[in-house]
């Protein structure tokens, strides 16, 4: 029985005493455990004074209403359905508590863990919001300075886009000026969500001068610190499509971070329509013979000179499924190309000074150039 006398010599409150044995028995609160220990002490040794608060907790569990009001004020009008509680305690207090628990068999839990659990229940009861390990908002209570900070989960919106302009990149320019697919969609999205910033994640990308037509390219928009989550997606989609920007979106839906990885890792064949030009009239026989050489052909492409400053200088193997001749008129030919995802189509045609082998130019025997290029289908 000397152990229980020693236990109460620590002069801890009821809750902090019970927390020393938090892993023993279920269905009890740490306060309940403390009461049972006090009962045992009184049964053998008589009355004992138990403080309402102690140097470990400093009465923090009687201040839940204060922290609730602080958290509600910090959240303001922000829309959310789920939350998670985090907290910061004085490291010295946590060390002292651990020393005490080690002395009695290390069967307890930290005050930090109990506070997160109990305040989480309190917060849920008063707000009607649900606890989640992947929450809309992480509410962190700093118990040292009595302050609240929020970490807001980004909002993710999935869709597909069409680009019907030849002068607009997928992502924002470094200097921040000029349209991009990202800014056309993102700036409107900020108006709907009240967010602070945005980022477009695309399933690949097309060059500035290449139009994205057909069934469109998949994307996920990520919005930082959204105030409003339950936005009208159809209204937002219509706002983009009526913006006269040359960017059109469809299949819009709420999504998650996992969708970014899914579309980034997806490898789809793509169909392109290209207008090819030559310095002399194009021979139909030679062009058709050239196209026939590429049926199910694997080519080698070294990173193009036009992008070598931004990408590693590697050699990639890509399969060309087919090249079809759609039309030939004088010095121009219209061709349809189906290729493996990641193929550099311009270099497939012009050869890039021998960095793509073989190329249409090398087989045709004359320099062929891309006059215009469009993505017309992504084979999902």
Q: What is the 3-state secondary structure (H, E, C) of the chain?
A: CHHHHHHHCCCCCHHHHHHCCCCCCCCCCHHHHHHHHHHHHHHHHCCCCCCCCCCCCCCHHHCHHHHHHHHHHHHCCCCCCEEEEEEECCHHHHHHHHHHHHHCCCCCCCHHHHHHHHHHHHHHHHHCCEECCCCCEEEEEECCCCEEEEEECCEEEEEEEEECCCCCCCCCCCCCCCCCHHHHHHHHHHHHHCCCEEEEEECCCCCCCCEEEEEEEEEEEEEECCCCCCCCHHHHHHHHHCCCCCEEEEEEEECCHHHHHHHHHCCCEEEEEEEEECCCCCCHHHHHHHHHCCCCEEEEEECCCCCCCCCCCCEEEEEEEEEEEEEEECCEEEEEEEECCCCCHHHHHHCCCCCEECCHHHHHCCCCEEEEEEEEEEEC
Q: Would residue 207 show up in a list of annotated catalytic residues for this protein?
A: yes
Active-site residue, from 6, 90, 207, 244? 207
Q: So which residues are the catalytic ones?
A: 207
């Amino acid at each position: 029985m000397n152990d229980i006398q020693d236990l109460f010599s620590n002069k801890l409150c009821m809750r902090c005493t019970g927390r020393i044995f938090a892993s023993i028995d279920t269905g009890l609160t740490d306060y309940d455990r403390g009461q049972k220990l006090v009962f045992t002490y009184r049964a053998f040794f008589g009355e004992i004074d138990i403080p309402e608060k102690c140097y470990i907790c400093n009465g923090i569990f009687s201040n839940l209403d204060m922290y609730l009001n602080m958290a509600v004020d910090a959240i303001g009008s922000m829309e959310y359905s789920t939350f998670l509680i985090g907290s910061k305690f004085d490291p010295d207090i946590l060390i002292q508590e651990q020393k005490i628990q080690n002395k009695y068999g290390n069967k307890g839990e930290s005050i930090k863990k109990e506070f997160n659990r109990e305040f989480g229940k309190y917060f849920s009861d008063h707000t009607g919001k649900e606890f989640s390990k992947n929450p809309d908002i992480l509410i962190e209570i700093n118990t040292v300075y009595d302050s609240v900070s929020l970490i807001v989960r980004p909002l993710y919106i999935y869709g597909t886009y069409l680009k019907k302009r030849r002068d607009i990149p997928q992502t924002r320019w470094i200097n921040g000026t000029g349209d991009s697919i990202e800014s056309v969609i993102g700036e409107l999205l900020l108006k709907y969500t009240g967010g602070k910033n945005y980022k477009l994640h695309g399933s690949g990308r097309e060059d500035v001068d290449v139009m994205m037509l057909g069934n469109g390219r998949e994307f996920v928009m990520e919005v930082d610190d959204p105030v409003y989550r339950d936005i009208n997606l159809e209204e937002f989609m219509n706002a983009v499509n009526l913006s006269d920007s040359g960017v059109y979106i469809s299949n819009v839906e709420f999504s998650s971070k996992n969708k970014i990885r899914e579309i980034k890792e997806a490898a789809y064949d793509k169909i392109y329509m290209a207008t090819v030009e030559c310095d002399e009239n194009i021979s139909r026989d030679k062009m058709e013979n050239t196209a026939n050489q590429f049926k199910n052909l694997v080519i080698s492409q070294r990173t193009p000179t036009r992008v070598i400053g931004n990408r590693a200088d590697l050699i990639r193997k890509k399969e060309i499924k087919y090249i079809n001749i759609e039309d030939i008129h004088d010095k121009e030919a219209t061709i349809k190309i189906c290729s493996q995802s990641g193929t550099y189509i311009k270099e497939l045609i012009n050869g890039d000074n021998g960095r793509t082998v073989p190329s249409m130019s090398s087989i045709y025997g004359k320099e062929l150039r891309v006059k215009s290029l469009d993505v017309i289908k992504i084979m999902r």
